[in-house]
Amino acid sequence: MDLIGKVVLVTGSVRGIGLAIAKAFDAAGARVILHSRKGASPELLAEFSEGTLSIAADVADAAAVNTALEEVYEQVEQIDVLVNNAGITKDTLAVRMSTADFAEVVNTNLIGTFNVTQPVFTKMLKAKKGGAIINMASVVGLMGNAGQANYAASKAGVVGLTKSLAKEGAKRHVRVNAIAPGMITSDMTAVLSEKQTEAILSNTPLGRFGEPAEIAQTALFLVQNEYITGQTITVDGGLYI
């Protein structure tokens, strides 16, 4: 897929992995739409090419998402690439986890992914011009992790959603894939203790955390290779081997 002039929406894109993905697509010539709950600051927008847009919405709020997307479609004909990156964690052991904390993580990470995807996916199918959707999963969704029952469940759901949408979109060349990062340098990993970090690295064959740019490279690859759909690509330094 030639990215020059393509429109790419990246949710959760004002920092960390999402920001790295947005910058990679911007550098590749795409017109980027940034997203966060509060939207991108003017200072951040200035780091992108002219024409970059910003939207604000809580992805767990379907009505807010639809309103934000209506504003986008008033300015662009279609969204060619959607990257669902917005997500949260609320970690604690399952025996201590409240139903509210379980629901909040699932509502943002899984239902939020669906809330953004459904209207964009529908328009892609109707336009009959193809498209690409990338959902951010996690190796935790594939292998589980103590203290992250809610996060693991939400990301496992993202994998199942990805496979189902890939089957529904294939006839009209709308490809849907997922990326399952391992431990990536970010705000989420910055809070780990030295003991936790050592334990993770001891189980990671490559012996280091990944960088957001390495996830961005994978996102570009999945968009540009038009014979891949329904896949979950682990980018984890071998953690899931």
Asked if 134 and 82 count as a contact pair (C-beta separation under 8 A), the reply is yes
Phi, psi angles (nearest 5°) of residue 233: -95, 120
Question: Is 151 a residue of the active site?
Answer: yes
- Residue 63 burial (CB count, 10 A): 10
Q: What is the DSSP string of 6-20?
A: -EEEESS-SSHHHHH
Q: Which of 73, 151, 227, 240 is catalytic?
A: 151
Asked if 158 and 169 count as a contact pair (C-beta separation under 8 A), the reply is no
CA dist 154 and 140 (Å) reads: 10
Asked if 128 and 143 count as a contact pair (C-beta separation under 8 A), the reply is no
Instruction: Classify 36 as helix, strand or coil.
Output: strand
**The one-letter amino acid at 147:** G
| Residue in the block written with tokens 């669902």 | 84
- Residue 76 burial (CB count, 10 A): 14
**The one-letter amino acid at 64:** A
Active site positions, annotated = 151
